[in-house]
Homo-oligomer: A and B are copies of this chain.
């Protein structure tokens, strides 16, 4: 709806003059993250197919591609439309798509860009074939295998072969390979837990690749991984596409992952914030922000408060109503005044982005970029 779409700032505004709540991107930290991922993947030979469910923005997708990403993945046809319409040429819907209306949209989009899709059921293969035939296009189709997340996907190993054969035998489909993502492993807190889970996922994926090879079916794409585990998949020699998304922004939940020395991981910098304003300061130890859970998602925990150079441990975000965020000020925190701006680190970046229509890109305290979140709400 266009009413919500007015940007909260103008180019050149000072950060403190941005209207709130607003979604702020620290452009230096953001570009550091893009560069860092490209540098980490380069020696492994694994390609980056960054996940657009995080950013929902073709402007960001194209910056990833400019640094070597092969393309994007996403979860919904509507997201793929926003990306293709925004100039992204190579997209994988890393998810099942069910229903004739959506499959016709997916097929038609293949006239503008390469847009692949995943299946875990023979009925889906036939439905995608029918849509591709009706529009007259060829659709690259991957088999999703369950590598430990117990969500979608056929069993790994031989389980992938019948579906892959059915795809390969379909006149308008190309067998594209395997989707092998272990979602829950991204958030296992210790390095060892993540390493062990992805070790198993990699074994299951390798067995599937081998079974397909014996059946004469080659995998152009063996895709998976996220920000929590991508270093394991990239080094595996089995995965060749990395689907990390959150690394561009990071969030409080990823901030709780630990490295092999038991320390918080510092590979990427926090670049995404929700800027909020103190709208009530009724007690010495309390301030109320104009940002509640309609401005910052709470599915993975409450946001944290950011200080000048990192997390501010003296102020706790203790409660989110729809449009109120309640802060508890510790004994060492200076009292917050009416109108003061506070930067929040979202608990979970992806659904927080989905609440906003604009990124406000800031560098050196000034608004430098305004990018539309064109796939916001594209859930179909």
Instruction: Identify A282's interface contact among B1, B152, B373, CB under 8 A.
Output: B152
Q: Is the CB of B354 within 8 A of A279?
A: no
| Residue A333 CB within 8 A of the other chain | no
A76 and B75 CA atoms in complex are apart in Å by: 32
| Residue A295 CB within 8 A of the other chain | yes
| Residue A278 CB within 8 A of the other chain | yes
| Residue A357 CB within 8 A of the other chain | yes
Query: With A4-B378, A98-B278 as given contacts, are A355 and B354 in contact (CB-CB < 8 Å)?
Result: yes
Query: With A288-B151, A322-B351 as given contacts, are A99 and B280 in contact (CB-CB < 8 Å)?
Result: no
Number of interface residues of A (CB under 8 A): 75
In the complex, how many angstroms separate the beta carbon of A158 from the nearest chain B beta carbon?
Answer: 15
Q: Is the CB of B102 within 8 A of A19?
A: yes
In the complex, how many angstroms separate the beta carbon of A88 from the nearest chain B beta carbon?
Answer: 14
Q: Convert A63-104 into 0s and 1s, putting 1 for each residue whose CB lies closer than 8 angstroms to a CB of B.
A: 000000000000110100110010000000001111101100
Query: With A152-B282, A183-B321 as given contacts, are A355 and B377 in contact (CB-CB < 8 Å)?
Result: yes
Q: Is the CB of B338 within 8 A of A379?
A: no
Query: With A152-B288, A357-B377 as given contacts, are A98 and B339 in contact (CB-CB < 8 Å)?
Result: yes
A120 and B1 CA atoms in complex are apart in Å by: 32
A124's nearest neighbour on chain B, judged by CB, is B338
Kindly list chain B residues whose C-beta atoms are within 8 Å of the C-beta of A297: 293
Kindly list chain B residues whose C-beta atoms are within 8 Å of the C-beta of A351: 293-294, 322
A residues 342-356 near B (Cβ < 8 Å) are: 350-351, 354-356
| Residue A298 CB within 8 A of the other chain | yes
Most B Cβ at <10 Å: residue of A279, A355, A379:
A379
Which applies to chain A's interface (DSSP): helix, strand, loop or mixed? loop
A160 and B62 CA atoms in complex are apart in Å by: 55
A76 and B279 CA atoms in complex are apart in Å by: 12
Kindly list chain B residues whose C-beta atoms are within 8 Å of the C-beta of A320: 299
In the complex, how many angstroms separate the beta carbon of A216 from the nearest chain B beta carbon?
Answer: 25
A121's nearest neighbour on chain B, judged by CB, is B338
A357 and B5 CA atoms in complex are apart in Å by: 13
A76's nearest neighbour on chain B, judged by CB, is B323
Given A76-B323, A294-B350: 17 more A-B contacts, CB < 8 Å: A1-B374, A3-B78, A3-B81, A4-B377, A4-B378, A19-B380, A20-B99, A20-B380, A53-B322, A97-B279, A98-B338, A123-B338, A150-B286, A151-B324, A153-B280, A295-B379, A299-B320
Top 5 closest pairs, chain A to chain B, by CB = A4-B377, A152-B280, A75-B323, A98-B279, A96-B279
Listed by A's residue number, 30 A-B pairs whose Cβ atoms lie within 8 Å are: A1-B374, A1-B376, A3-B85, A4-B379, A8-B380, A19-B99, A19-B102, A20-B99, A21-B379, A53-B322, A76-B323, A95-B324, A96-B279, A98-B278, A121-B338, A124-B338, A151-B280, A151-B319, A152-B280, A152-B282, A152-B324, A154-B282, A290-B379, A291-B379, A293-B297, A295-B379, A298-B299, A322-B350, A323-B379, A355-B379
